[in-house]
Chains A and B, each alone.
Chain A
């Protein structure tokens, strides 16, 4: 069974520092991996989607890497801002056997960026 772990569970940094969020998964047979942001009491906003054949994706200040063989993904957020405060979730989609494309989520990393 796929297990997705996110470390750390919580993180607090001063504004301007870079953020590094880690996600690990036990089964490397994934179709893709997606990073989401969730604000309190809200739904999820997709940040980056990395296909299994890709090693990284970038969008503005965000960069996500994927090392499928070691079962790891890292989300980097450069020059953090108070508006980056949220919970960040990673999710993996299994390959093949699950044709509906169910996602397996990590527990999330709660980020607080202080002014």
Chain B
């Protein structure tokens, strides 16, 4: 089945630094990928939609300059949290849409802790 690989699975960084999270579709091409944020015991909040070769579309309230998204190829999208602050600590999950079967495959998530 479709597999999405997300790395790293967890990361701890200092305030003010930047962190990059990768999301790769391993056995299918994903023209569209999605980035979500999840707070403890809450559902997923869509942050942005990433389309290969074009600028990402951000949801209302999500800072474009803080959460940089790049989708340079059909199998790779990256989310960079710039100048991270403790309030950016969260669980980040990516998802890719498999055009072939209309379903969505999710990565295993990245636990970001900013200290």
Q: Which residues of A contact B (CB under 8 A)?
A: 32, 34, 36, 41-46, 49, 51, 89, 91, 100-103, 105-108
Q: Which residues of B contact A (CB under 8 A)?
A: 4, 6, 32, 34, 42-44, 46, 49, 51, 57, 91, 93, 95, 97, 101-109, 111
Chain A residues positioned under 8 Å from B108 (CB to CB): 42-43
Docked complex Cα distance between A14 and B103 (Å): 32
Q: Judge whether B109 and A103 touch: CB under 8 Å.
A: no
Question: How many whole Å from A59's CB to the nearest CB in chain B?
Answer: 12
Q: Judge whether B103 and A100 touch: CB under 8 Å.
A: no
Q: Judge whether A105 and B34 touch: CB under 8 Å.
A: no
Q: Judge whether A41 and B57 touch: CB under 8 Å.
A: no
Chain A residues positioned under 8 Å from B102 (CB to CB): 32, 49, 51
**Given A100-B51, A108-B43; 10 other pairs, CB 8 A cutoff:** A44-B44, A44-B93, A49-B101, A89-B43, A89-B44, A100-B49, A100-B97, A101-B104, A103-B46, A103-B95
Q: Judge whether A103 and B91 touch: CB under 8 Å.
A: no
Cross-chain contact of B105 among A46, A102, A105, A107 (Cβ < 8 A): A46
- Which residue of the partner chain A has the closest CB to B50? A100
